[in-house]
Structure 1
Amino acid sequence: MIDFKSEVLKIKDQMIEDIKNLCAIPSTQDDSTIAEFAPFGKANRQALDAMLEIGKRDGFDVEDVDGYAGHIDIGEGDETFGILGHLDVVPVNEVGWDSDPFNVIIKDDKLYGRGVADDKGPLLAGYYAAKIINSLNIPTKMKIRVIFGCNEELGSSCVKYYFTKKPYPKMGFTPDASFPVVYGEKAGCGFNIEGHVEKGGLIYLCAGNRPNIVPETCEAVITGNYKQYVDSYRKFLNANNLVGEIEEEGNHTKLILKGKSAHASTPDEGINAIIFLCKYLATVVDNKLVDFILEYLDDCNGKKLGIDHTGMMGSLTLNLGVISYCKEEFKIILDLRCPHDMDFDGMIEKFQTACANYGFRENHNIGKALYIDPDSDLINNLHTAYVNVTGDTINKPQAIGGGTYAKSMPNCVAFGAEFLGEDNLIHGNNENIKIDSLLKATEIYCHALYNSIKV
């Protein structure tokens, strides 16, 4: 057997340098800088160019598909094995980072920075694994195509467009989840709720900028001098072990509450600042929006709506990700991850009933779940690679709540790069990845490619 571990160690320094350079680009979608061949903004275009340049530097054929996505072709073969990763990242919180999120640092043998774990670091781990396979001149039946898009965090329109121009690989994986290999992804569903609500003492309520993140900070403005609320607000914060601020806002009072961000697929790992601030607001204002949130949205599994369900893929999750209330008009955006075997029509009906009870409007988008036979060759080859490197025979192929590029093409699954027992703080402050784990993931990808494409 080839000693892939030693091969990975040879490329360690160059891979880390590439990660630092790629993560220095703040590639969060910016609609104000959209231009021809930059459909997701200037920074995302820069990240795409940087990844294409890495492939050119290493002597491989590259192609830019109109700024939506690109690819690097490695090796030879009539058929193609795909590795799909994304170059866009979620926004960073204004406070909470211990270092500059776009200047990768090494601390305690970890890389810290936005994108080191989601998904620039793992994408480069997949790329370097493909590069290692190619360098060893292993006879292969498929070439490797490393595909990278720029809009995964906001719907993956990048690869949807890409695959209107380019054929699907025969099979593939995306290094954008966790180990072991993922055979199923819950359906990603979104609900937007809007309406008119009289103030009742609440002037303003705002939190969140992406529905797929548990909002860490929520702000509200309420009527009345702040001095009358100081004692009760501080008691509330202390009782719930929370941090917040209260201050004068003209003739009114401004409240700020700090929770904890997390990925929307695991909302129970965060502290939703909207929910907790509403719990306090309910004691000092008379506002139907606050009442609606606490009556129907105050849990992570939809129990209060009556839509909770646990199936083969696990439990439904619900995240109240964005809220905006101003001038008596509001909008809520919810992110749900739903098992494939639940009653989707029943879920929609429950939402519609809840909104009708308050005179609110709703619209929804119901996504598709992904399910690949756990006994398929693709799953077996990838899982065998994981076992070969880790020795873990206990943990089996899994289903997850996160949505990945795997849904964008047939016969594709998510595979790493986060290991069991590790928390890379994806979508949160101080996103990080252990260097040893990054190298181990690269080694696993080498074995996976070897298992899948060798003659």
Structure 2
Amino acid sequence: MAIDWQKEVDARKDDLLDDLKELLKVKSEREDDKITADAPFGPGPRDALKHMLSYGERDGFTVKNVDNYAGHIEFGQGDETLGIFGHMDVVPAGDDWETDPYEPVIKDGKLFARGSSDDKGPSLAAYYAMKIIKDLNLPLSKKVRFVVGSDEESGWGDMDHYFEKEKTPDFGFSPDAEFPIINGEKGNVSIRVHIGIGNEGSYTLEKFQGGLRDNMVPTSASAQVKTTTTEQAEAMEIAFNEYVGTTPISGTSIINGTTIIFQVGGKGSHGASPQFGHNAATWLAAFLDNYDFAGGAKNFLHVAAAYVHEDFYGEKLGAAFEDPKMGKLTMNAGIFDFDTDKEDALINLNFRYPQGTSSETLQASINDKIGQYGVTLTEGGHHMLPHYVPQEDPLVKTLLDVYEEHTGEKGEEQIIGGGTYGRLLERGVAFGAMFPGFVDTMHQPNEFIALDDLYKATVIYADAIYRLAK
């Protein structure tokens, strides 16, 4: 049966866009201080999950909400289940947006909003692909289940809970990355560097904060420093202004007597690609490390400046590693916290590592390099091991065939540092929705998805789902 998938998508463009806009209006950032039994990751992720599931109920699918952690939208019959995995939670919007991140705006054929490309837009594309197949009443030999998560950007607690209650699909994909395919993903682990609090120098570091999440390059950082004299503060301000003028960051300072407060702006990027950002926190630490701090304050600043700043591959920490297939390890310093009211300071390092090394090896290497600064290391967050599905697998071959037929471009395997729900399945991959040459704005201000790409992805998903499940 020859099906004109483009025609079917064109007939539903307006509905798809309307549904996506409404979903993007839900501020689905995780808020730990608002967690309840009814909202395990805060009200935003819960509300977005329920909103997405409501589309499935409206359109006549079988729908299940698993305790507001996750849910699924399902149709079809058969012994095997094709799983499609998307997520409704988003990273914090942060600053530097030109528009309201939760009021979707279309400009120059692009839809701007937090979550437009990661992952509400691609999820809606995959959902509408399912809807087309259902609307056309096409025969299937397998079940098709769209699993909707709400904690992908944090600890994956949604999927841990979901799979305690529900059966795992047999194979599938996540529309949360790039075309032509992502059939390999590096390991993902956060190593927390704890450093004691202390100040014995002529300069006192009272506070230092930078970053929002492990998987985001910090776009802003601040520090509060107390000097001995107002002359020291004034001289420090002059030096800071000169420093900012010679670096890729922006910055301001405010003097109040002998106290000076610094604010620095950098450039955000996804934590899997820290080399494309400018880490505001390490640039600020590199400036402050030139001054006479001592004790824990000096250790904190020096580790950040000498061992983390502008090192995206863990070379200064002795953690660098490269695999011929999976490529280089990358490192993102995502969170910095120093406060004299707390017991210790924190630098959170997020590693995307290839097969051949491990968290234990990384920690041993880091301790060898900076153990003399009184640090202790702990593993934090959700540790994901490296994942790979061979090119010869029928799932990979089918998806690449679909991509090639609809784009005219050769489909090749790709391995990334980002982590997607595709790795939840032994035979799981990531498939779209970013096309080659696309400007990646995931986890950055002014995130967008091009409408033409959204519709094109829907066409590809519809054909792919049908071929995999018919």
TM range (shorter): over 0.9
Q: What pairs up with 1:155-174 in 2 under 5 angstroms? A: 155-174=155-174
**Matching residue within 388, 396, 413 for 2:429:** 413
* Corresponding residue SS for 1:152: coil
Amino acid in structure 2 at the alignment position of 1:289: F
Q: 1:66: which partner in 2?
A: 67
**Matching residue within 265, 269, 287 for 1:258:** 265
> How far 1:443 moved relative to its partner?
0.9
Contact persistence 1:355–1:361 (CA under 8 A): no
Mapped to 2, the partners of 1:180 and 1:315 lie a distance apart of: 21
Contact persistence 2:72–2:148 (CA under 8 A): yes
Q: 1:36: which partner in 2?
A: 37
Q: What pairs up with 1:199-278 in 2 under 5 angstroms? A: 199=199, 200=201, 201=203, 202-224=205-227, 225=230, 226-249=233-256, 251-278=258-285
Contact persistence 1:315–1:339 (CA under 8 A): yes
Q: Which whole-Å deviations, capped at 9, do the CAs of 1:71-119 have from their partners, x for residues lacking one? A: 11123333211111001011111x3001010010100000000111111
Contact persistence 2:189–2:359 (CA under 8 A): no
Aligned: 1:375 with 2:392: yes
Aligned: 1:2 with 2:3: yes
Q: 1:302: which partner in 2?
A: 314
Mapped to 1, the partners of 2:40 and 2:151 lie a distance apart of: 9
Aligned: 1:399 with 2:415: yes
Contact persistence 1:221–1:249 (CA under 8 A): no
Structure-2 change in CA distance of 1:357 and 1:116 (3 Å)? same
> How far 1:227 moved relative to its partner?
2.1
* Corresponding residue SS for 1:378: helix
Aligned: 1:437 with 2:453: yes
Structure-2 change in CA distance of 1:418 and 1:306 (3 Å)? same
Contact persistence 1:71–1:145 (CA under 8 A): yes
> How far 1:344 moved relative to its partner?
4.8
Q: What pairs up with 1:32-181 in 2 under 5 angstroms? A: 32-93=33-94, 95-181=95-181
Aligned: 1:321 with 2:334: yes
* Corresponding residue SS for 1:182: coil
* Corresponding residue SS for 1:153: coil
Amino acid in structure 1 at the alignment position of 2:141: K
Q: 2:363: which partner in 1?
A: 348
* Corresponding residue SS for 2:11: helix
Mapped to 1, the partners of 2:426 and 2:360 lie a distance apart of: 26
Mapped to 1, the partners of 2:358 and 2:156 lie a distance apart of: 25
Q: Where does the alignment leave 5 or more consecutive residues of structure 1 unmatched?
A: none
> How far 1:250 moved relative to its partner?
5.1
The TM-score with structure 1 as length reference comes to 0.96
* Corresponding residue SS for 1:115: coil
Q: What pairs up with 1:188-203 in 2 under 5 angstroms? A: 188-199=188-199, 200=201, 201=203, 202-203=205-206
Mapped to 2, the partners of 1:330 and 1:307 lie a distance apart of: 22
Mapped to 2, the partners of 1:249 and 1:437 lie a distance apart of: 51
Contact persistence 1:126–1:442 (CA under 8 A): yes
Q: Where does the alignment leave 5 or more consecutive residues of structure 2 unmatched?
A: none
> How far 1:67 moved relative to its partner?
0.9
Amino acid in structure 2 at the alignment position of 1:240: T
The TM-score with structure 2 as length reference comes to 0.93
Mapped to 2, the partners of 1:367 and 1:91 lie a distance apart of: 22
**Matching residue within 330, 333, 347 for 1:332:** 347
Amino acid in structure 2 at the alignment position of 1:391: G
* Corresponding residue SS for 1:322: strand
Q: 2:291: which partner in 1?
A: 284
**Matching residue within 392, 395, 402 for 1:385:** 402
> How far 1:369 moved relative to its partner?
1.1
Contact persistence 2:286–2:304 (CA under 8 A): no
Equivalenced residue count is 452
Contact persistence 2:130–2:465 (CA under 8 A): yes
Mapped to 2, the partners of 1:417 and 1:285 lie a distance apart of: 50
Mapped to 1, the partners of 2:305 and 2:42 lie a distance apart of: 37
Structure-2 change in CA distance of 1:29 and 1:344 (3 Å)? closer
Mapped to 2, the partners of 1:326 and 1:369 lie a distance apart of: 35
> How far 1:209 moved relative to its partner?
1.9
